[in-house]
Amino acid sequence: EVPLTSERYRVRRLPFSRLGPRDVAFFQRLLPGRALTEPEALEPCNVDWLRSVRGCSKLLLKPQTAAEVSQVLRYCSEKNLAVNPQGGNTGLVGGSVPVFDEIILSTVLMNRIISFDTVSGILVCQAGCVLERLNEYLEQQGFIMPLDLGAKGSCHIGGNVATNAGGLRLLRYGSLRGTVLGLEVVLADGTVLDCLASLRKDNTGYDLKQLFIGSEGTLGVITAVSILCPQKPKAVNLAFLGCQNFSQVLETFTTCRAMLGEILSAYEFMDEKCMELVEKHLKLSCPVRDSRFYVLIETSGSNSTHDEEKLNSFLEQAMTSGLVTDGTVATDDKKIKMLWSLRERITEALTHDGCVYKYDISLPVGKLYDLVTDMRARLGQSAKNVVGYGHLGDGNLHLNITAESYNHSLLDAIEPFVYEWTARYNGSISAEHGLGFKKKQFIQYSKPSEAIFLMQRFKAMLDPKGILNPYKTLPSSS
């Protein structure tokens, strides 16, 4: 049984109202059959995907439109009831589940594609659309989503935008801050802010959508998204390579970026411990043996002959110079999916290894793996495994530590050391997962006090009662 978040982290409940029978009756009239109080319906929504934090919400709401979300929030604002917006609940920092008894506002039924323009590549859809379903829809039209991540089968695009998710395509297509063109957002008092622009250029005043991208549901509930989608590449190649040390991983990246140029779409790395766990727990097999590091390079372009020529030329250079000791190349879909699964399913493999302490860090690329080495030396036998993998092209390290079970003294040995180390090298304590509940008290390692104060003022202005996703993202004032 996952302990209640409030008990484990010793958080005090803020003075919000308690949900009463009249409140439940109001929501059941507003959302007939979609205001649920049954424990079996609430159980999966009260626990995060990692089973590391748990709330005790007694009400799950499933609106279908922005107008319904507006009515819900207007009522909650008047009655001082706290609300926890929730998408696919795939977050890794405790941001998507209640801490106490907040009402869960799920976007699961807001899954309509509103429009798609095949000339501009602009998709407009509701926030509850699942990322993988959107990608399948777009592929039929010759396009793809500009983001891809391991949780694509269950994460919602609204949640992706709310957390500014990064993922596997960021190196090629950039972040959501660049590809999201407009948003429809419902504010804490029920006001619907329709900034659902479908223009590449709109230079009229402050860019309000940027406030909500990455705000983790604390400033408003995203109900619809307008996003720019790239054309589906005609040719995709994947190289899976083995390197003997991290300096070779870095040099391979430099060589690869110089030789592959515009067709390079992903450069991922993982250490041998990651591969051991994927093989052991998920029974996947690695086609490259006996390497200390593994690199996954994806190219995507419009001319298969041209791309293969470039890739082969790079591989020849990497092999003859001794940067890479072994490797395999995939051009057919089946083998490409198999090789990607070695990287995408590391998170899943880790959950089978015990209790996982997860850290998502941005660092100067040259320092990326030093944190893993230092953490291994620091923890010694007190951790089961310390592994490192991530998006090397973006300087994004995923540091994961496993233990047989949750151990407070182990957590004390990791934190705040991991954040102090990151701050020392001018890194960010959250590259792409957000701050959520677990990291909010450490924001000062990445942001100056003036910036935090300004964020708190934005929160106070847009959500004066603090009802939206409380206890998350910003540090407690006390």
Report residue 177's pLDDT band, with 50, 70 and 90 as the boundaries.
very high
Rounded Cα gap, residues 239 and 237, in angstroms: 7
* pLDDT confidence of residue 477: 67
CATH classification code of 5-106: 3.30.43.10
Residue intervals of the chain classified under CATH 3.30.465.10 are: 113-228
Own/partner long-range contacts of 139-144 (Cβ < 8 Å, ≥24 apart): 139/232, 141/116, 142/118, 142/231, 142/232, 143/116, 143/118, 143/229, 143/230, 143/231, 143/232, 144/229, 144/230, 144/231, 144/232, 144/233
* pLDDT confidence of residue 478: 47
Per-residue pLDDT averaged across 62-69, rounded?
98
Q: Which of 62, 94, 226, 72 is nearest to 158 (CA)?
A: 226
* pLDDT confidence of residue 197: 85
Per-residue pLDDT averaged across 249-275, rounded?
95
Rounded Cα gap, residues 284 and 277, in angstroms: 9
Rounded Cα gap, residues 35 and 265, in angstroms: 43
Answer whether 225's CB lies under 8 Å from 288's CB.
Answer: no
Please determine, for residue 171, whether its predicted confidence score (pLDDT) is greater than 90. no
Residue intervals of the chain classified under CATH 3.30.43.10 are: 5-106
Per-residue pLDDT averaged across 190-198, rounded?
94
Helix (H, G, I), strand (E, B) or coil at 231: strand
What value does the mean pLDDT of the chain take? 95
What pLDDT, in 10s, does the model give residues 366-423?
Answer: 999 999 999 999 999 999 999 999 999 889 999 999 999 888 899 999 999 999 999 9
What pLDDT, in 10s, does the model give residues 16-40?
Answer: 999 999 999 999 999 999 999 999 9
Q: Which of 122, 134, 113, 126 is nearest to 198 (CA)?
A: 122
Report residue 147's pLDDT band, with 50, 70 and 90 as the boundaries.
very high
CATH of range 113-228; options 3.90.1280.10, 3.30.465.10, 3.60.15.10, 3.40.1010.10:
3.30.465.10
pTM of the model: 0.93
Residue intervals of the chain classified under CATH 3.30.70.2740 are: 354-461
Per CATH, is 234-351 categorized as 3.40.50.150? no
Per-residue pLDDT averaged across 9-14, rounded?
90
Q: Which of 14, 196, 201 is nearest to 100 (CA)?
A: 14
The domain made up of 354-461 has a fold known as: Alpha-Beta Plaits (3.30.70)
What pLDDT, in 10s, does the model give residues 312-352?
Answer: 999 999 999 999 999 999 989 999 999 999 999 999 999 99
Please determine, for residue 285, whether its predicted confidence score (pLDDT) is greater than 70. yes
End-to-end CA distance of the chain: 30
Please determine, for residue 103, whether its predicted confidence score (pLDDT) is greater than 60. yes
Rounded Cα gap, residues 143 and 146, in angstroms: 9
Please determine, for residue 223, whether its predicted confidence score (pLDDT) is greater than 80. yes
Residue intervals of the chain classified under CATH 3.30.70.2190 are: 234-351
* Residue 287 one-letter amino acid: P
Answer whether 91's CB lies under 8 Å from 434's CB.
Answer: yes
